[in-house]
Structure 1
Amino acid sequence: MLVHHLYSGGKDSSLAAWVLTRLGYEVELVTVTFGLLDNWRFARETAKRLGFKHRVLKLPVEVLESAVETAIRDGHPNNAIQFIHEKALEALASMPDVVRVSDGTRRDDRVPFLDLPKARSLEDRFNVAYIRPLLGLGYKTIRELTERLFIVEIRESEELQKADYEVELRHLLRERGIDPLEIFPKRHYQSRVLGWKSL
């Protein structure tokens, strides 16, 4: 049973991929890009180190442009990131070989996060199963598991080489002459998994 799992290379999406394997699924990691940067390669490196198949899914740059407009209008990135995540799930679910889609969203996430009506809508519109293996887990549990399983690099978002939606969103804001720190939190930390710990 193959699952296509949205993957940034961070601890949440890596842990979710591991949980899926423990549930008996074959997992293919999928990293979204808009083609402005090659930051997807950081996720590919991590996928290789963890032993997962990996592919890159290119979304139309118009999706990113819409997200940037939303972030500028709102003065914060939440709705922009939610919009991109929904479009990423829809693009993945619409691919002809895809039957199951997954992500690393957690119990306490606000953004990105599909509520129950949106999750059901995704499944109904694209005839897929939407699997969220971390949905019942809180921050403390996820931290315990990732510290046990992975070598993790944690840095401020602006400094970390990573493959999530934020990178190209921040890039396009800069191209428009806007400092991303006017939109994003000034001290926001994110993670990148570097490999397995020896257990």
Structure 2
Amino acid sequence: MKVYHLYSGGKDSSLSAWILERLGYEVELVTISFGLLKNWRYARETAENLGFKHRVLYLPEDILEKAAETALRDSHPNGAIQYIHERALEAIASMPEVERVSDGTRRDDRVPFLDLPKARSLEDRFGVAYIRPLLGLGYRTIRELTERLFNVEMGESEELVKADYEAELRDLLKEKGFDPRAIFPKSHQQSRVLGWKNV
């Protein structure tokens, strides 16, 4: 059984991949890019260090453009990140070979997060199973597991090199002449997994 797992190289998506593998799935990691930056290479490096197959899936830049418009309109990134996440899952689910799609969303996530109607809609529209290994886990449990399993680099969102949607969204906003710091929350920590601990 193969699952295509939406992958940023952070703690949540890496822990989800580890859980999926232990459940018996063949896991292929999929990182989304809009082609503005080559930040997908950070996810590829982490995937290789962890021993997972990895691919990059390019989405049309108009999705990122719409997300940027949403972030500017809202003066906050949540709607933009949610929009990209939904389009990313749909893009993976629409690939002909895909029967199962997964992400690293957690129990306590607000954004990005598919509520039950959206999760069912994704499955029904694309004929896939949508799997969320962390859905029942809280922050403390995830922190304990990731600290035990991975070497992790932590840093401010704006400074940490990573392969999530936020990096390209920030870059596009800068290109348009807007300061992303006016939109994104201050002092927001994110993670990048570097590899296995004690390996």
Question: If the length of structure 1 is used for normalisation, what is the TM-score?
Answer: 0.99
C-alpha distance in structure 1 between counterparts of 2:125 and 2:186, whole Å: 38
1:4 aligns with 2:17: no
Q: Which amino acid aligns with 1:144?
A: E
Which residues in structure 2 correspond to 1:85-100 (within 5 Å)?
Answer: 85-100=85-100
Per the TM alignment, residue 107 of structure 1 is displaced from its structure 2 partner at its CA by: 0.0
C-alpha distance in structure 2 between counterparts of 1:171 and 1:144, whole Å: 33
- Secondary structure of 1:198's aligned partner: coil
Give the equivalent residue in structure 2 for 1:30: 30
C-alpha distance in structure 1 between counterparts of 2:11 and 2:42, whole Å: 13
Q: Which amino acid aligns with 2:22?
A: R
C-alpha distance in structure 2 between counterparts of 1:108 and 1:77, whole Å: 18
Identity %: 79
Cα displacement string for residues 6-29 of structure 1 (whole angstroms, at most 9, x for unaligned residues)? 000000000000000111101000
Q: CA RMSD in A?
A: 0.6
- Secondary structure of 2:14's aligned partner: helix
Give the equivalent residue in structure 1 for 2:77: 77
Per the TM alignment, residue 158 of structure 1 is displaced from its structure 2 partner at its CA by: 1.0
- Secondary structure of 2:170's aligned partner: helix
Question: If the length of structure 2 is used for normalisation, what is the TM-score?
Answer: 0.99
Give the equivalent residue in structure 2 for 1:174: 174
Give the equivalent residue in structure 2 for 1:60: 60
Uncovered stretches (5+) of structure 1, i.e. residues with no partner? none
C-alpha distance in structure 2 between counterparts of 1:170 and 1:110, whole Å: 20
Per the TM alignment, residue 39 of structure 1 is displaced from its structure 2 partner at its CA by: 0.2
Question: How many pairs were matched up?
Answer: 199
Give the equivalent residue in structure 1 for 2:44: 44
Uncovered stretches (5+) of structure 2, i.e. residues with no partner? none
Per the TM alignment, residue 198 of structure 1 is displaced from its structure 2 partner at its CA by: 1.5
